[in-house]
Each structure stands twice: as structure tokens, then as C-alpha cells.
Amino acid sequence: MALQIAARVSRIRAIPCSTGGPLTRVPADVQSSGVKFKHILTPGSPQLGRGAATSAPRSHIYPDKLSTTTTLWRASRGSYSSIPQVKRGWLGTFAVGTALGVSTAVLVQSLHTGAFTAMALKVNLDSAVGDWKETKDFLLSLSVKDRRQYYRTASSVALNEIPVWTPTAGGPEPSRYGRNEKLDQKISVHDGDITKLEIDAIVNAANSTLLGGGGVDGAIHRAAGPMLKKECASLNGCETGEAKITCGYGLPAKYVIHTVGPIARGGVGEEQREALRSCYRNSLKMATENGARSVAFPCISTGIYGYPPEQAVHEALATVREYLDAHHDKLDRVIFCVFLPKDKELYLQNLPLYFPAEATVKSKL
């Protein structure tokens, strides 16, 4: 319940208000969630409550001038029982205003400043205890800046820190696809840890259970924390070539898209090729359907699943090229995140075949 209210609080904080003043309206869906805003004050309006109505003093309208906001913030670090006359289910009403001896305007403004949000939340991404749905709703409601305090990685790499791959004219082979200038600035090759990427979505090369494993799968689960496994357990697995999406939890990435690549240890046939293409296609589709504009892929199936990297790179590039041709307006960046130097070399060598530069016109002189 606390996380559901807090997720909606983030919407309250986004409502425009007068400079320095409290919020003057509350969305109906927030009101219906059980938070009852009995007295919402505006600068100069009478303070409602016991006794005769009097003008609200400036200090009650601007709580940042008082220690009240600090008191609320400190209360978030302690137990709810330390607040007088307030039960653990205090979010059902705004009686907390009386309990703390402050006006409701102070409480509403505290929501706006984030003090009450901190008070409402007890998010522990190191533990599997709790409701993953509430945790997910809360985390997805945050801005990137606000979500950073919940990262479980020691560092992160922002999208603007990842260089864009630029096509160059010429090459050892003729291009397999025509020129499409709308796709310029949309491709990157990044050699690094995919769990550190602060982007909209990263793709996990998962197994069919979605419950974690080795390689990149295990790394993503370890970095995200146990809540990821709890949500994955609710998805009833995943078939080869399909994709399913979850919250990123403790990862810098907002979402994790889980896809199951084909096993190709016995050789690569048309079935394996189509399954691998489906992994990339369905992952991209899942990203755009959920509003993710940046997505990073690992090398799917090229590890213990045995798909030859020099063949997998062509299926990956062809599928991404075809999807971007049809949906270039829905994605800002597709990142091929590689770990081994030979994989980086394969992508850089073959990218011009699928994303060619403008042809150079030779002079007749």
C-alpha cells in the first residue's frame, strides 16, 4: 500500500504550483487511493481546523522555512510507532497532520518536496521480502535522477557517454542494404558491462525458466537483486525466440527484456537462424511497446549455447536494420554491448554492410 501511494505521490509532485507555494489540486485517482486531503491551503487562504478561521501564517505555507520538513524526513528513518497518535497504516488518512502538530498545507507541501515520499517508503532491493509489484510501480514512477539512489551497481554509464557508431564509405564487401539516413546516430557498439548501462532497457540472454543462470544472465540477476527473480517467477518461463519484460530494480536500466536464444551446439540450420532473429525482433518490439527508446543487446546464444559468433552477428544486424527501417521514430539508440574483443571486431567489421554510409560519387575530372 505504501509503495502504491508513493508512486502516485510522484504524480502530485509534477503538478504545477505557484512559486514556493503548496499544491492546489490533487488528481482524482490519488484521492481515491485512500489519501484524504481535508484542508488544502493556498497562500493567503484561511487555515481550516478547530476554532475560528484565521489566516495561515507564512511559516505554515512554506514548510521549508521551518524544521517541519526535517522532522518528517527524520521520521522516515525511524519507525512509524515513533510518531505520536499515528498507526502503521497512517497513509489511509491525513490525520498525521494533527499528530505532528502541523497544518495539512505543510504535509501537502512535504509531498511536493519529497519528504513525505521518503517517509512512506521502505525499499530494500537487497531483500526478497516485500511485494515486487508495489516496488516495481514505485521505481518505474521515478525519474532517472530519483532512481539513482536505488542502484545496486558501484557505477553507471549514461547514454550520452556511449559513442554513436558512424558509417564510413567504402568497405571490403558491397552493402547488403540501401542507404537510410534516418538511421544515422542510432547505432552504438559498446565494450563493457551491460549491467552498468543507464538506459531504458537492457536485453538478458536468459534460459527458459527466467530464474537466472550463468554468464550475462547471472550477472544481470545479481546486479538487479532478488526482486527481479520474484517478478520473473510470475512470468511462467519463456519459449525460445520469445521475449518478456520486467523492471530493472537495482540496475541502472529501467527495464530488463528477457529472451531465450536457440541452442546451436549441433550446428546452425534455418530453425536456429529464425529463432535468433526472433529474439532480436521480439526484444525490440517489447521495448517499443513499453516506451523504451534505448535498448542494449548482449551477444545472444554465442556462449554456452554454441551459436558461432561470426554467424550470429549477421542475424543480429539484419534484424535490427529491418526493425529500424519500419520503426525508426520509436527508437533513439540500439547498442550492441560486447564483452570479448573479437565480438567488437565482428560488429565493427560488419556494420557497414547493414548501415552503409552515403555512396561517394567519383569526379569525372
The pLDDT tens digits for 33-90 are 444 444 444 444 444 333 444 443 333 333 333 333 333 333 333 333 333 333 344 3
Q: Is the pLDDT of residue 115 over 90?
A: no
Across the range 236-261, mean pLDDT stands at 98
Task: Report CA 212 to chain centroid distance, whole Å.
Answer: 19
Structurally, at CATH architecture level, domain 158-354 sits in 3-Layer(aba) Sandwich (3.40)
166-184: string of b/e by CB count within 10 Å (b at 16+)? ebeeeeeeeeeeeeeeebe
Residue 161: count other Cβ atoms within 10 Å of its Cβ: 10
pLDDT of amino acid 266? 84
Please report, for the chain, the start and end positions of each structural domain, with discontinuous segments joined by +: 2-120, 158-354
Write the secondary structure of the chain as one string of H (helix), E (strand) and C (coil): CHHHHHHHHHHHHCCCCCCCCCCCCCCHHHHCCCCCCCCCCCCCCEECCCCCCEECCHHHHCHHHCCHHHHHHHHHHCCHHHCCCCCCCHHHCCCHHHHHCCCHHHHHHHHHHCHHHHHHCCCCCCCCCCCHHHHHHHHHHCCHHHHHHHCCCCCCEEHHHCCCCCCCCCCCCCCCCCCCHHHCCCEEEEECCHHHEECCEEEEEECCCCCCCCHHHHHHHHHHCHHHHHHHHCCCCCCECCEEEEECCCCCCCEEEEEECCCCCCCCCHHHHHHHHHHHHHHHHHHHHCCCCEEEECCCCCCCCCCCHHHHHHHHHHHHHHHHHHHHHHCCEEEEEECCHHHHHHHHHHHHHHCCCCCCCCCCC
Asked if residue 338 has pLDDT above 60, the reply is: yes
- Ramachandran angles phi, psi of 316, nearest 5°: -65, -50
140-175 residue pLDDT tens: 999 999 999 999 999 999 999 999 999 887 666 788
Tell me how far apart the alpha carbons of residues 218 and 201 are, in angstroms, rounded to a whole number: 17
**How much is the mean pLDDT over the chain?**
77
* pLDDT tens, residue by residue, 303-315: 999 999 999 999 9
pLDDT at 3: 60
The answer, yes or no, to whether residue 343 has pLDDT greater than 80, is: yes
Q: Please give the grid coordinates belonging to residue 25.
A: 489540486
| Distance from C-alpha of 76 to C-alpha of 10, rounded to nearest angstrom | 17
Taking each helix axis from N to C terminus, what angle separates 2-13 and 132-141, rounded to the nearest 10 degrees? 10
Stretch 271-287: mean pLDDT, rounded? Answer: 98
The whole-number pLDDT of residue 119 equals: 33
pLDDT category at 326 given cuts 50, 70, 90 is very high
- In this prediction, what percent of the chain has a pLDDT beyond 70? 64
Whether the per-residue pLDDT at 194 is higher than 90: the answer is yes
User: Span 87-103, mean pLDDT?
Assistant: 41
Q: Are 80 and 88 in contact (CB under 8 A)?
A: yes
Q: Is the pLDDT of residue 112 over 90?
A: no
What is the rounded distance in angstroms from the CA atom of residue 195 to the CA atom of residue 253?
8
Q: Which distant-in-sequence residues (6+ apart) come within 8 Å of 170 by Cβ?
A: 360
Q: How far apart are CA 149 and CA 154, in angstroms?
A: 11
Q: Answer whether 285's CB lies under 8 Å from 322's CB.
A: no
Beta pairing partners, 204:
258
Q: Which of 121-130, 175-184, 188-197 has the lowest mean pLDDT?
A: 121-130
What is the rounded CA–CA span in Å between residue 200 and residue 271?
A: 30
Q: What is the average per-residue pLDDT within 251-267? A: 95
* Residue with the larger pLDDT of the pair 363 and 241: 241
Sign of CA dihedral 347, 350, 354, 360: positive
Strand partners, 197: 157
Cα gap 181→185, rounded to integer Å? 9
Average pLDDT over residues 269-279: 97
Q: Is the pLDDT of residue 223 over 60?
A: yes
Dihedral sign computed on CA atoms, order 339, 343, 345, 350? negative
